[in-house]
């Protein structure tokens, strides 16, 4: 599966590639500042899964049957909470 990372996730490209994902950024696709619809259309045309924090992008992708992952504030809060709770666990000697 190939990924299209929205503008706010451009810095994750190398991380995702290191983890084995084929990742492309909106910048790579020359879509920086493009309207929401163009980004979704690009993802659909190139059979990419869109990773975004923009609810409108995710909504348009869903309406267009484009696979997507919406990284919402709730998801981020849960990830941070899980990491904080893990750090609070007492370490065994």
Reported pTM = 0.84
What pLDDT, on a 0 to 100 scale, did the predictor assign at position 6? 96
What pLDDT, on a 0 to 100 scale, did the predictor assign at position 89? 80
- What is the C-alpha to C-alpha distance for residues 34 and 55, in angstroms, rounded to an integer? 16
- What is the C-alpha to C-alpha distance for residues 38 and 87, in angstroms, rounded to an integer? 42
SS3 label, residue 4: strand
What pLDDT, on a 0 to 100 scale, did the predictor assign at position 9? 94
pLDDT in tens, 2-20: 999 999 999 999 999 999 9
What pLDDT, on a 0 to 100 scale, did the predictor assign at position 93? 65
Q: Say how far residue 79 (Cα) sits from the centre of its chain.
A: 14
What pLDDT, on a 0 to 100 scale, did the predictor assign at position 37? 95
pLDDT in tens, 18-77: 999 999 999 999 999 999 999 999 999 999 999 999 999 999 999 999 999 999 999 999
């Amino acid at each position: 599966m190939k990924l299209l990372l929205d503008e706010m996730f451009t810095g994750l490209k190398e991380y995702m590639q290191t983890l084995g994902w084929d990742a492309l950024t909106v910048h790579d696709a020359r879509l920086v500042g493009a309207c929401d619809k163009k980004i979704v259309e690009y993802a659909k045309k190139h059979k990419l899964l869109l990773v975004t924090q923009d609810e409108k992008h995710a909504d348009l992708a869903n309406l267009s049957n484009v696979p997507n992952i919406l990284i919402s504030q709730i998801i981020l809060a849960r990830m941070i909470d899980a990491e904080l709770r893990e750090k609070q666990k007492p370490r065994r000697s």
